[in-house]
Structure 1
């Protein structure tokens, strides 16, 4: 039963993560990422928590996205550690031309004091 409840909680957090991105909600996002959080971008660049949250406030608007969706969610729980993996589709305008990009991401979560928080995001472009 615990695994089922954790899976539901992680699915809800994943949905909130995406919603936070689209709405650029830094305050809500700050609540779901761990103090030691890092993001590994598709380029391989590692971004610390402070820079990540600073960028979060404008990333969606500056991306040129007109649509951003996720699917094929897979949640794997290993005690107090969990991996949440999904694929994304971003439709964006680049120089007046609509372009569709796909990524797959894996978010690593740690459960502390009954609360799941994301400690690492890794984003991989799908070519």
Structure 2
């Protein structure tokens, strides 16, 4: 089969190459903008969790949400929200380290590491973990559909 690119005029090939190069940075730029948007959304979610803002927490979670704990236990959306909003749980302010966003079309993976402290039923706790939050774009909106936590040594 003949190669149609061999018969393409040099000017046309150059124009196509220039067009392809021009499109590359725009795509990368839009990914950077989306990554910044998702980072801000994740930070707002963290703050909502600290405030126990039930509506803001729930609004960021998909209907089919799943949480895989560091023990391997799995919780659905209702159980996750109930546990997180329990008055027995108090989470102190925390920061996320090693934060990273990877975007794959309508799916984004937000990863990081957190050292969390607080109290549960009046008893202090410490937790050091790495996590991955999977966000999906549904109806034009990004929501967390899955969270998985892996314990790290103190």
The TM-score normalised by the length of structure 1 is: 0.85
The alignment status of 1:54 with 2:82, answered yes or no, reads yes
- How many pairs were matched up? 124
Alignment root-mean-square deviation, CA: 2.2
| Higher mean displacement: 12-21 or 41-50 | 12-21
Q: Which one has a larger percent strand, Structure 1 or Structure 2?
A: 1
The alignment status of 1:27 with 2:55, answered yes or no, reads yes
Compared with structure 1, are the counterparts of its residues 6 and 100 closer, same or farther at alpha carbon in structure 2 (3 Å cutoff)? Answer: same
Unaligned 5+ residue runs, structure 2? 1-28
- Larger Rg, first or second structure (1 or 2): 2
Contact 2:102–2:110 (CA<8 Å) still a contact in 1?
yes
- Choose from 111, 114, 117 the match for 2:140: 114
Residues 32-55 of structure 1: CA deviation (Å, up to 9, x unaligned): 111100100111000000111111
Q: Which one has a larger percent helix, Structure 1 or Structure 2?
A: 2
Partners in 2 of 1:23 and 1:64 — Cα distance? 10
- Choose from 36, 39, 42 the match for 1:11: 39
Contact 1:68–1:90 (CA<8 Å) still a contact in 2?
yes
Higher relative contact order, chain-length normalized (CA < 8 Å, sep 6+): 1
The TM-score normalised by the length of structure 2 is: 0.71
Unaligned 5+ residue runs, structure 1? none
